[in-house]
């Protein structure tokens, strides 16, 4: 009878990693009995609770005992390795004893603790060793009439290739999967090692791990993308009953489940890289399909055959196996998305129902059959004898048959003994080698490998014996090292009486403690050595130099941080260093860790590019996202990869995701080429190749707030790159205007933007010129285009391309129109900036389209910013008969009439003022000095002057309204400068921890109280009202500049000097 049970699921949450602690992470997981809850760090009320068979709290409440084992501190709910084995491992053992197949899968993102639970670290042994040890303990109890046969195998699936981790030589292309009627899928030629003690298994696991570690460096493979499958076959032969029970125990440490992110907004031309883990994707599909089957849905096909892993696990999933899944999760808030996805995956898995049966293997059947046949033959012989009908020939024949059968029976049993004996021999040899290694560790200095995967660190040791020893790819070296950037003869270590020096060969890359070395360098105990692009080693000095220091701090992260720091990149540089009390900004820490993670990968890609003569150089750049946010709030940064062609100077910028995707494909190509295969034809398939593209060079923010008051703005904006460096300067003007494009003057300005609510608002963006464009200066044959997006237009607008001119004149004007300014629109103008992008064009790249195609236009040709349905793209004009069109025409007429009325009003007011002035002049004869004049005070910036000139000077004295408008205009111009500087400050992140301190700092720097533009405008408004009242009650001359002290501060030239001293 099959036992029908669901897949048993357990969740385990690990302690914070050092990285998470540094980032000041918060724990988002809580557990209560067998339920696990996760809360969304951005929305803590949003909690999701999952109920699984078991929940292991391994996050906190533990201490290290004297052997280094993590145990519960007092009586609390901490689940250490022992508890996990007790709850899961013992179930596996029980199934095995009963003759059921058992499978244990560890699922979770890289670094979540899969290997910790399965294999374990040091004294904290995982389930696999514990299960094996317990199994042997029980089999050695010496039960009579029972024999046990245990075989062990260990394989890895990488890129759909099966690698035997116990084989001495590696089969190119990996082992084949075959299908057998009775056995199902199996790996053809996999080494199954018979074992009769746990010590043997321990050695085999060590051997397998060594093989895995060597493979990652030789093949430049990443262990997190590979699946490791350990299989223990356990047979119990009951001699009396002639029954054999057989159980196959599969222990699977799956590849990291982190979702392959899409290659960012630009998407990658080559998609295969992201599909690389076919096995993991298919496992997900199989689980989903089986979960549907369990809920009664009709599923036609379960895609077991789509990947190597699912073929091998077919019986574990919905078949003849008792299956357990352990979902390993990180507790940290930064892993929230991945953890949630792991829990959802586990939830699907728990629905799967398996039908396990007690197994008897074909070999045992054969033995049983042979025995049964022999019994029959012997019975017949006895029968013949007793009836006296014995014929010599017949007896002879029967005896032959019996003897033949017995021989076959013996050989079936002997094979096991013989195989076991051979395995014991190998094991003895390994034990001797291990003893020798231990002895050498006590005698010589050595290099200890450090891998990205902590499970594969400290696995390989290279001894530096007395004299000199060469290191490199060639087999003639004393230490043979494979890996990116390691040359045939790469370096020489010399050991003279315990003093060790390292001398790299000519043009051979080597770094010690992060610093590149070229000549002979003396090594000291615990120096960090990197050879080639990424082969990292911790140098263990001769015994006399050694200390008790804990070596675990020298992990892969340590090496990479050191390398980054030596290259001038550090947390402080990123502006994340918090004061002692305040922790560093987690988002910046995340960027730092991304950078550290990518650093060795970039080195590897550069190495591949060099070896394959691709002429490409890859560099990491930190991109400042404050530049992409139209409100300038975003302090986030991200890491991008800049690719430069060394000879053509072509440039590409790749997102992290695109780079990761390409790296996988590059590795594949590199390995194929090294294996002597021909390169795939056509550059389209080449992961190094990319068509020339327009490169984003820089960005500027031009604040639109002036337009909310219908004030014009002329600005020379700095276009800065991701690092805040100026790439060019752009002169542009924002000009409020009427529907037909007549530019508004100062008298048209409004004090309160709400006055524009519901009215038609038009303005022009005039791109004048771009100066000092670095991109154009750096290489010939380049061009630029300017792109910007206004409000919620569906796409960017681009100016016409200008090629090969360092100071390109652009001189393009586009008019925008909101027919009925909504609250949102006015809010947009007040709070947002126009983001202007500078794009670098290079030979052969596609220029950005500069037509208005696809954008709704008004009949006058302005780009329509609201009611996009009113006028659709490409329309020759609105249908004059439609009601919308009629309304629109009416609106236009009203607009025009208002315009005319305003004109009249303006003329009257001017006249009135002239008369007033004349009157004052005549009566007082009081001549004002130029220095007191408010006009003088506002003419301080170059931009203002030229703007004034552009508009033409009007009467020598203007209205209070006009003075107010001028003050406002200058205020906005200065505000733009302030904002730009503020943005710059955000890039630089001055060492102040509190935002309020930052504001104080800025207000000191500007010499003005730091006010929001809105409150400033209000203040101006109040003063203005007072002015007009005073004006009405007294006929005394009154200068608004005297009554508007705030404006005075802002009309002062911006004190750049103060900021430069930053
Ligand atoms: N339960 C745990 N208790 C203590 N440390 C853990 C635990 N789980 C994982 N770790 C540590 O976290 C790191 C990553 O764990 P690992 O098992 O290698 O992750 P994975 O195999 O999922 O990539 C290792 O340094 C490991 O020692
Ligand atoms: Mg692992």
Residue 1010: pLDDT above 50? no
Residue 719 CA to residue 766 CA, distance in Å, equals 16
Query: Which ligand has an atom closest to residue 113 CA?
Result: 1
Q: Is 80 in the pocket of ligand 1 (CB under 6 A)?
A: no
Name the closest-CA residue to atom 14, ligand 1. Answer: 111
Give the model's confidence band at 959: pLDDT under 50 very low, under 70 low, under 90 confident, else very high: low
Q: Is 454 in the pocket of ligand 1 (CB under 6 A)?
A: yes
Q: Is 115 in the pocket of ligand 1 (CB under 6 A)?
A: yes
Residue 1024: pLDDT above 80? no
Query: Which ligand has an atom closest to residue 114 CA?
Result: 1
Residue 962 CA to residue 952 CA, distance in Å, equals 14
Residue 778 CA to residue 9 CA, distance in Å, equals 59
Question: At 9, which helix (H) or strand (E)?
Answer: strand 8-13
Rounded average pLDDT over 222-233 = 91
Q: Ligand 2 centroid vs 333 CA: distance in angstroms?
A: 21
Residue-wise pLDDT for 36-83, tens only, equals 999 998 888 899 999 999 999 999 999 999 999 999 998 778 999 999
Residue 870 CA to residue 901 CA, distance in Å, equals 28
Which of 255, 157, 168, 268 lies closest to 210 in space, CA to CA? 168
Name the closest-CA residue to atom 7, ligand 1. Answer: 14
Q: Is 455 in the pocket of ligand 1 (CB under 6 A)?
A: yes
Give the model's confidence band at 733: pLDDT under 50 very low, under 70 low, under 90 confident, else very high: very high
Question: At 816, which helix (H) or strand (E)?
Answer: strand 809-818
Q: Ligand 1 centroid vs 88 CA: distance in angstroms?
A: 18
Tokens at residue 623, please?
């991109």
Q: What is the 8-class DSSP label of residue 952?
A: -
In this prediction, what percent of the chain has a pLDDT beyond 90? 39
Ramachandran angles phi, psi of 51, nearest 5°: -115, 120
Tokens at residue 532, please?
């080639």
Name the closest-CA residue to atom 8, ligand 1. Answer: 113
Q: Which residues pair with 616 in a beta bridge?
A: 645
Q: How many CB atoms lie within 10 A of CB 897?
A: 10
- The predicted pLDDT at position 667 comes to 84
- Between 592 and 501, residue with greater pLDDT: 501
- The predicted pLDDT at position 209 comes to 95
Residue 412 CA to residue 582 CA, distance in Å, equals 71
Q: Is 111 in the pocket of ligand 1 (CB under 6 A)?
A: yes
Name the closest-CA residue to atom 10, ligand 1. Answer: 113
Residue-wise pLDDT for 557-581, tens only, equals 899 888 888 877 776 666 555 444 4
Q: Is 82 in the pocket of ligand 1 (CB under 6 A)?
A: no
Q: Is 121 in the pocket of ligand 1 (CB under 6 A)?
A: yes
**For the ranges 450-464, 507-521, 576-590, 850-864, which has the lowest average pLDDT?**
576-590
Closest atom of ligand 1 to CA, residue 116? 17
Residue 782 CA to residue 838 CA, distance in Å, equals 13
Q: Which residues pair with 535 in a beta bridge?
A: 531
Q: Ligand 2 centroid vs 586 CA: distance in angstroms?
A: 25
Residue 378 CA to residue 596 CA, distance in Å, equals 76
Q: Ligand 1 centroid vs 455 CA: distance in angstroms?
A: 9
Q: Is 112 in the pocket of ligand 1 (CB under 6 A)?
A: yes
Q: Are 258 and 288 in contact (CB under 8 A)?
A: no
Q: Is 720 in the pocket of ligand 1 (CB under 6 A)?
A: no
- The predicted pLDDT at position 942 comes to 32
Residue 700 CA to residue 512 CA, distance in Å, equals 41
Q: Is 110 in the pocket of ligand 1 (CB under 6 A)?
A: yes
Q: How many CB atoms lie within 10 A of CB 127?
A: 24
Q: Is 17 in the pocket of ligand 1 (CB under 6 A)?
A: yes
User: 1003: which residues sit within 8 A by CB, 6+ positions away?
Assistant: 1009, 1010
Closest atom of ligand 1 to CA, residue 121? 27
Query: Which ligand has an atom closest to residue 116 CA?
Result: 1
Residue 550: pLDDT above 80? yes
> Any idea what the Cα angle at residue 615 is, between residues 611 and 621, rounded to 5°?
105
> Any idea what the Cα angle at residue 603 is, between residues 599 and 606, rounded to 5°?
135
Residue-wise pLDDT for 382-408, tens only, equals 777 777 665 666 777 777 777 777 776
Strand-strand pairing, 62-64 and 70-72: antiparallel
Q: Is 114 in the pocket of ligand 1 (CB under 6 A)?
A: yes
Q: Is 116 in the pocket of ligand 1 (CB under 6 A)?
A: yes
Give the model's confidence band at 260: pLDDT under 50 very low, under 70 low, under 90 confident, else very high: low
Residue 253: pLDDT above 90? yes
Q: Is 108 in the pocket of ligand 1 (CB under 6 A)?
A: yes
Q: Ligand 1 centroid vs 223 CA: distance in angstroms?
A: 14
Q: Is 15 in the pocket of ligand 1 (CB under 6 A)?
A: yes
DSSP string, 287-314: HHHHHHHHTT---S---GGGSHHHHHTG
Residue 176: pLDDT above 80? yes
Neighbours of ion ligand 2 (CB under 5 A): 115, 455
Q: Ligand 1 centroid vs 114 CA: distance in angstroms?
A: 7
Pocket test for ligand 1, best of 116, 224, 254, 335 (most atoms within 8 A of CB): 116
- What does R_g of the chain's alpha carbons equal in angstroms? 39
Give the model's confidence band at 888: pLDDT under 50 very low, under 70 low, under 90 confident, else very high: low
Q: Are 407 and 373 in contact (CB under 8 A)?
A: no
Residue 1049: pLDDT above 50? no
- The predicted pLDDT at position 630 comes to 53
Q: Which residues pair with 499 in a beta bridge?
A: 496
Pocket test for ligand 1, best of 13, 59, 77, 121 (most atoms within 8 A of CB): 121
Burial (CB < 10 A; 0-12, 13-18, 19+), residue 301, is exposed
Dihedral sign for Cα 476, 477, 483, 487, please. negative
H helical segments located in 181-277: 198-218
Q: Are 607 and 485 in contact (CB under 8 A)?
A: yes
Pocket test for ligand 1, best of 113, 121, 329 (most atoms within 8 A of CB): 113
Tokens at residue 186, please?
């199996």
Name the closest-CA residue to atom 17, ligand 1. Answer: 113
Tokens at residue 35, please?
């339920």
Rounded average pLDDT over 171-197 = 87
Query: Which ligand has an atom closest to residue 330 CA?
Result: 1
- The predicted pLDDT at position 363 comes to 53
> Any idea what the Cα angle at residue 459 is, between residues 456 and 462, rounded to 5°?
135
Question: At 539, which helix (H) or strand (E)?
Answer: strand 535-540
**Can you state the angle between helices 960-988 and 942-951, rounded to 10 degrees?**
140
Q: Ligand 1 centroid vs 14 CA: distance in angstroms?
A: 7
Mean pLDDT of the chain: 80
User: 611: which residues sit within 8 A by CB, 6+ positions away?
Assistant: 670
Residue 113 φ/ψ region, left for φ over 0, alpha for ψ in the -120 to 50 degree band, beta for the rest: left
Closest atom of ligand 1 to CA, residue 110? 23
Residue 907: pLDDT above 90? no
Give the model's confidence band at 1020: pLDDT under 50 very low, under 70 low, under 90 confident, else very high: low
Q: Ligand 1 centroid vs 602 CA: distance in angstroms?
A: 26
**Can you state the angle between helices 392-443 and 362-387, rounded to 10 degrees?**
150
Contacts for 850-854: CB closer than 8 Å, 24+ residues apart: 850/785, 850/797, 850/798, 850/799, 850/800, 850/801, 852/797, 854/794, 854/795
Q: Are 627 and 699 in contact (CB under 8 A)?
A: yes
Q: Is 61 in the pocket of ligand 1 (CB under 6 A)?
A: no
Q: Are 984 and 721 in contact (CB under 8 A)?
A: no
Burial (CB < 10 A; 0-12, 13-18, 19+), residue 880, is exposed
Residue 311 CA to residue 282 CA, distance in Å, equals 10
Q: Ligand 2 centroid vs 272 CA: distance in angstroms?
A: 24
Q: Is 58 in the pocket of ligand 1 (CB under 6 A)?
A: yes
Q: Is 264 in the pocket of ligand 1 (CB under 6 A)?
A: no
199-226 burial: b if 16+ Cβ within 10 Å, else e: ebbbbbbebbbebbbbbbbebbbbbbbb
Q: What is the 8-class DSSP label of residue 789?
A: E
Closest atom of ligand 1 to CA, residue 224? 23
**Cα-Cα end-to-end distance for the chain:** 80
User: 810: which residues sit within 8 A by CB, 6+ positions away?
Assistant: 767, 768, 769, 770, 786, 799, 800, 802
Rounded average pLDDT over 31-36 = 94
Which of 237, 231, 208, 12 lies closest to 132 in space, CA to CA? 231
């Amino acid at each position: 009878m099959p036992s029908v049970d669901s897949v048993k699921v357990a969740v385990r949450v690990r302690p914070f990693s050092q990285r998470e602690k540094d980032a000041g992470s918060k724990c988002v997981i809580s557990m209560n009995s067998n339920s696990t809850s996760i809360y969304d760090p951005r929305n803590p009320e949003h909690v999701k609770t999952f109920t699984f068979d078991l929940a292991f709290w391994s996050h906190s409440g533990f201490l290290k005992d004297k052997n280094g084992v993590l145990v519960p501190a007092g009586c609390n709910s901490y689940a250490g390795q022992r508890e996990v084995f007790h709850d899961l491992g013992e179930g596996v053992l029980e199934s095995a004893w009963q003759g059921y197949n058992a499978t244990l899968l560890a699922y979770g993102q890289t670094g979540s603790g899969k290997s910790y639970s399965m294999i374990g670290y040091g004294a904290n042994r995982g389930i696999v060793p514990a299960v094996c040890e317990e199994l042997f303990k029980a089999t050695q109890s010496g039960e009579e009439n029972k024999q046990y046969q245990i075989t062990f195998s260990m394989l890895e699936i990488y890129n759909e290739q099966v690698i035997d981790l116990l084989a001495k030589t590696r089969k190119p292309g990996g082992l084949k999967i075959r299908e057998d009627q009775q056995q199902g899928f199996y790996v053809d030629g996999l080494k199954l090692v018979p074992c009769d003690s746990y010590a043997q298994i321990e050695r085999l696991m060590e051997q397998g791990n060594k093989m895995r570690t060597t493979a990652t460096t030789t093949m430049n493979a990443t262990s997190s993308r590979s699946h490791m499958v350990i299989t223990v076959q356990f047979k119990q032969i009951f001699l009396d009953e002639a029954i054999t029970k057989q159980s196959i125990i599969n222990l699977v440490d799956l590849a990291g489940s982190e979702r392959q992110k899409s290659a960012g907004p630009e998407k990658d031309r080559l998609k295969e890289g992201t599909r690389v883990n076919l096995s993991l994707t298919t496992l997900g599909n199989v689980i989903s399909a089986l979960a549907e089957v369990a809920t009664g849905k009709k599923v036609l096909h379960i895609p077991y055959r789509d990947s190597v892993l699912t073929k091998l696990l077919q019986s574990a999933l919905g078949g003849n196996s008792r299956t357990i899944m352990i979902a390993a999760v990180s507790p940290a808030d930064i892993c929230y998305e991945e953890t949630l996805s792991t829990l959802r995956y586990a939830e699907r898995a728990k629905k799967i129902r398996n039908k396990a049966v007690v197994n008897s293997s074909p070999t045992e059947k054969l033995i049983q059959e042979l025995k049964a046949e022999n019994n029959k033959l012997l019975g017949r012989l006895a029968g013949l004898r007793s009836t006296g009908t014995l014929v010599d020939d017949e007896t002879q024949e029967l005896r032959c048959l019996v003897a033949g059968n017995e021989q076959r029976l013996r050989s079936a049993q002997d094979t096991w003994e013989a195989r076991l004996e051979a395995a014991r021999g190998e094991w003895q040899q390994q034990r001797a080698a291990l003893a020798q290694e231990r002895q050498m560790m006590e005698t010589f200095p050595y290099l200890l490998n450090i891998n990205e995967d902590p499970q594969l660190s400290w696995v390989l040791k290279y001894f530096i014996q007395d004299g000199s020893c060469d290191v490199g790819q060639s087999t003639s070296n004393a230490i043979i090292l494979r890996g990116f950037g390691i040359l045939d003869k790469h370096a020489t270590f010399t050991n003279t009486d315990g003093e060790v020096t390292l001398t790299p060969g000519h043009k051979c890359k080597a770094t010690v403690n992060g610093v590149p070395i070229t000549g002979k360098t003396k090594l000291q105990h615990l120096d960090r050595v990197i050879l080639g692009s990424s082969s990292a080693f911790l140098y263990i000095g001769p015994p006399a130099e050694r200390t008790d220091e804990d070596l675990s701090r020298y992990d892969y992260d340590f090496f990479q941080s050191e390398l980054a720091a030596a290259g001038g990149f550090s947390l402080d540089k990123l502006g994340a260093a918090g004061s002692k009390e305040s922790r560093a900004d987690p988002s910046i820490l995340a960027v730092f860790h991304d950078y550290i993670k990518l650093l060795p990968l970039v080195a590897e890609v550069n190495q591949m590019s060099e070896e394959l003569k691709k002429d490409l150089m890859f560099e990491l750049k930190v991109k400042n996202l404050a530049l992409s946010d139209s409100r300038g709030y975003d302090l986030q940064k991200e890491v991008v990869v800049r690719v430069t062609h060394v000879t053509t100077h072509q440039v590409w910028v790749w997102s992290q995701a695109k780079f990761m995707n390409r790296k996988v494909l590059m590795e594949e190509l590199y390995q194929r080429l090294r294996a002597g295969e021909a390169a795939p034809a056509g550059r389209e398939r080449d992961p190094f190749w990319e068509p020339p593209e327009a490169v984003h060079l820089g960005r500027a923010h031009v604040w639109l707030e002036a337009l909310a008051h219908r004030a014009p703005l002329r600005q020379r904006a700095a276009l800065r790159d991701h690092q805040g460096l100026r790439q060019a300067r752009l002169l542009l003007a924002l000009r409020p205007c009427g529907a037909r494009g007549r530019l508004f003057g100062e008298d048209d300005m409004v004090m309160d933007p709400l006055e524009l609510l519901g009215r038609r608002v038009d303005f022009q963006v005039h791109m004048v010129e771009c100066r000092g464009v670095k991109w154009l200066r750096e290489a010939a044959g380049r061009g630029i285009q300017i792109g910007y997006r206004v409000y919620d237009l569906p796409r960017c607008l681009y100016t016409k391309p200008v090629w090969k001119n360092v100071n390109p004149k652009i001189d393009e004007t586009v008019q925008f129109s909101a027919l009925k300014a909504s609250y949102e629109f006015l809010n947009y103008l007040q709070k947002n900036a126009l983001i202007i992008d500078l794009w670098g064009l290079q030979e052969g790249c596609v220029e950005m389209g500069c037509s208005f195609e696809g954008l709704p236009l008004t009949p006058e040709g302005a780009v329509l910013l609201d009611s996009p349905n009113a006028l659709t793209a490409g329309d020759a004009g609105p249908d004059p008969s439609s009601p919308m069109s009629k309304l629109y025409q009416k609106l236009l007429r009203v607009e025009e009439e208002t315009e005319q009325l305003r004109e009249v009003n303006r003329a009257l007011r001017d006249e009135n003022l002239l008369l007033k002035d004349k009157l004052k002049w005549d009566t007082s004869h009081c001549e004002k000095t130029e220095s007191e004049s408010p006009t003088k005070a506002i003419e301080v910036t170059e931009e203002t002057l030229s703007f004034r000139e552009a508009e033409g000077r009007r009467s020598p004295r203007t209205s209070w309204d006009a003075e107010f408008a001028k003050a406002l205009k200058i205020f906005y111009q200065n505000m733009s400068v302030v904002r730009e500087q503020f943005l710059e400050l955000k890039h630089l992140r001055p060492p102040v921890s509190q935002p309020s301190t930052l504001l104080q700092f800025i207000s000191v720097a500007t010499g003005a109280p730091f006010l929001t533009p809105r409150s400033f405008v209000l203040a101006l408004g109040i003063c203005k009202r007072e002015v007009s009242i005073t004006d009405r009650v007294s006929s005394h001359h009154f200068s608004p500049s005297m009554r508007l002290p705030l404006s005075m501060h802002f009309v002062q030239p911006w004190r750049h000097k103060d900021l430069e001293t930053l």
